[in-house]
Structure 1
């Protein structure tokens, strides 16, 4: 098995960001940009990091590689290759584990606290984080907890925020994204419009300021959890 990691990216501006330095300490990161590059022929990686994007798990009729990506992740899991899924990536991981993914009752967007569950105390990756911490949320879809998974964190709007299945993790929120990354998202009309449709005019600037105020904390936490995950699968 290769010593490196595979990153599956769905849109250029949603990369690993604050997760990347920790990943690169443990091996090279090979990025596949799915809108223009094919999936690898094998799952021969130390771990797979699946990032976010504006499309959905159920968009296979519109986004031809979505169903292939779910099948690829299912093959990776069957081969005992750990997966770290972020936002859309968490939903793709849930789908690969045969859980239902569907639209939520309301978009969850902005800087929001998540709370760790009691089960998180024993988790080797997330167990050392505070009981509650701020994260960037940006999603409209959600998922059922996969069979055999352990729920590690919830928010008031969406209970399934973070889960572990074996050595794989589904992370609904964007702990990796600081204000510079969020500013890139907001430079895209579709992203800015989605935010302001949910939170109102002026929400973009307010969110960037709030994210900037917590970025020192979130960046350190992103580095810590990714380091522990990479160590645990080394």
Structure 2
């Protein structure tokens, strides 16, 4: 076969009934890398590091709860409204990045109020490791052979043999490397301008770049929500538009500010 065939077992380690998935390893790695990055940021700017761990807990809760609810109600509302107890079955899979983003924003808004930290200062810096988090998660999706692209005959197409034998766009890799590039862009801006950053600028850039990439890549991804099968745009694209508009507004506001 002229195309690259991907057939990696999504289970990294098996010990009897216990299975450790590559997705879980990459997800945990992303969280821990983000934690260490934020510790470095707090040290760089002489902030109180004692608030990092409770804020970290808020962040994890926000990601998991938001991403799970986002998947249930953005992508499969009919099924989960008919089987509400299935919402809690996180181990069965199903996390949505849009929901995770909303969950983190709400959780950190609450945390910033509780620990008396400027919300925009916090979110401007947290979006940097968040972009890296997106890279790790999409690599996890690639290991799972999920969120695959549409069939294609491009030379770099991948056959996900656990799905079917059709050559497809490796949409997970498109997203993963887009987010990695965005991470480097945001990190470079922060390092160069951290003492004179306009409030909301990095947050706005993050939303604009990430959801522009997401909107475009959705054109070569299989639609995940059944109710969008006959629509011009996928659920991911429709959900990306509000985030994209908010990002542009934050960029404009930060410069006017």
- Return the TM-score normalized by structure 1: 0.32
Please report the TM-score for the alignment, with normalisation by the length of structure 2: 0.29
Could you say which structure has the higher helix fraction?
Answer: 2
**Of Structure 1 and Structure 2, which has the larger fraction of its residues in strand?**
1
